[in-house]
Structure 1
């Protein structure tokens, strides 16, 4: 009986110690969003994107103060961009702006949407549509967050998008012009003159407009664009080439 009693005492003590140890372990593994963010960054640097996102999602779901939840959402979007998944990144950046439109990180999220499209531009032949999407997002950034910190680089991004879109229109217009579909060509060329007056190949566009109207025997229009070509680009090779036009 004494032996049994001693055994029960020892068992109770061991159980108590184990219980205390368990609580200690739980305390050591308590949720810490800062630690989770650091671990997520480490996983991203190792290209373990899915595991990183699991930690970031846990921050969003568990952090009661919601102090780090916005940053976790932003890092989820960033992780998709680094994983070369631009469409998924765009979705997550949009979600960030919807959830935290007044956040100091919101301009970064909007700029990143534009850049996700911008990096997909392949050239004027196939990239004009993507350039238009990038341009729309960059203009949205200017409208929504006029005090954004991208004042030096954003105008260059916008100009490149505009040039690519205009160049795409010029390629299509030249295709119609070569086929003799002058009315269709004029639609493209005049769209460039109206919407992209700073286009780098505007002199060529004006020359082709003169030629298109001349071929349609719409001489007043042809003369109008010839005058504009000579005024804006007097030293251009296309202005000199246009001197050979004869209007009767």
Structure 2
């Protein structure tokens, strides 16, 4: 009877191992198909070896990040989805955020800020967390308007830069954030003065 239980145990272990291998193979196959058809007309061949390697996928994303950001993001998101605890998952998340930030238009800045926030949420203790928080501030700072016009972006930038100084006071980014804080405060003060002069003249 003991032998039967032992044999049954090993049989179940063998079945579990087979299922795990089958699951991994299916995941890799699906990944290959997603990357192949996910780019529309720009179909991309990817080997199972690349699909099963966080480093290889990340480097593939880096390769396309400037000439084809959309394709690059597809690879980089697969790093995050397939290897969420990997060092390259952190790098991939930052690379996606940076790719939006470089475009500088309003929509891309919103997406960049969202990606940087997700980075901090996913990797709160990462050495790159202060950089991500600083970049959130920069997405607003890049869009501030001169005094006399709407200062919403200035106020948002100010709030985000203050988080850098408060949450990461010893980071390299804290010094830059402090400079940006002073600039934002000067802009807001000048704006208030501008509005006051305007109403005084009226």
Q: 1:69 aligns with which of 89, 99, 120?
A: 89
Q: Deviations over 1:201-244 (max 9, x none)?
A: xxxxxxxxxxxxxxxxxxxxxxxxxxxxxxxxxxxxxxxxxxxx
Establish whether residue 38 from structure 1 lines up as the match of residue 59 from structure 2. yes
Which residue pairs with 1:21 in the alignment? none
Q: 1: distance between equivalents of 2:196 and 2:177? A: 29
- SS of the counterpart of 2:136? helix
Which residue pairs with 2:25 in the alignment? none
The higher-RCO structure (CA 8 Å, 6+ apart) is: 2
Q: 2: distance between equivalents of 1:54 and 1:104? A: 25
Change (3 A) 1:31 1:127: farther
Change (3 A) 1:153 1:27: closer
How far 1:123 moved relative to its partner?
1.1
User: Highest Rg: 1 or 2?
Assistant: 1
How far 1:79 moved relative to its partner?
1.1
Q: Deviations over 1:149-180 (max 9, x none)?
A: 1354333211111111111111111111112x
Instruction: Give every structure 1 segment of 4 or more consecutive aligned residues whose post-TM-superposition deviation is greater than 6 Å.
Output: none
How far 1:66 moved relative to its partner?
2.7
Q: 1: distance between equivalents of 2:178 and 2:145? A: 20
Establish whether residue 125 from structure 1 lines up as the match of residue 128 from structure 2. no
Which residue pairs with 2:9 in the alignment? none
Structure 2 residue ranges without an equivalent (≥5): 1-45
- SS of the counterpart of 1:109? helix
Which residue pairs with 1:177 in the alignment? 200
Change (3 A) 1:127 1:115: farther
Structure 1 residue ranges without an equivalent (≥5): 1-24, 180-248
Contact 1:40 1:55 in 2 (8 A): yes
Q: Deviations over 1:67-106 (max 9, x none)?
A: 3212211111111111221011001111111111111110
Provide the TM-score with structure 1 as the length reference: 0.57
How far 1:62 moved relative to its partner?
1.0
Q: 2: distance between equivalents of 1:107 and 1:166? A: 27
Provide the alpha-carbon RMSD of the alignment: 1.9
Q: How does 1:11-22 map to 2 (within 5 A)?
A: none
Length, aligned pairs only: 154
Contact 1:49 1:83 in 2 (8 A): no
Establish whether residue 51 from structure 1 lines up as the match of residue 74 from structure 2. no
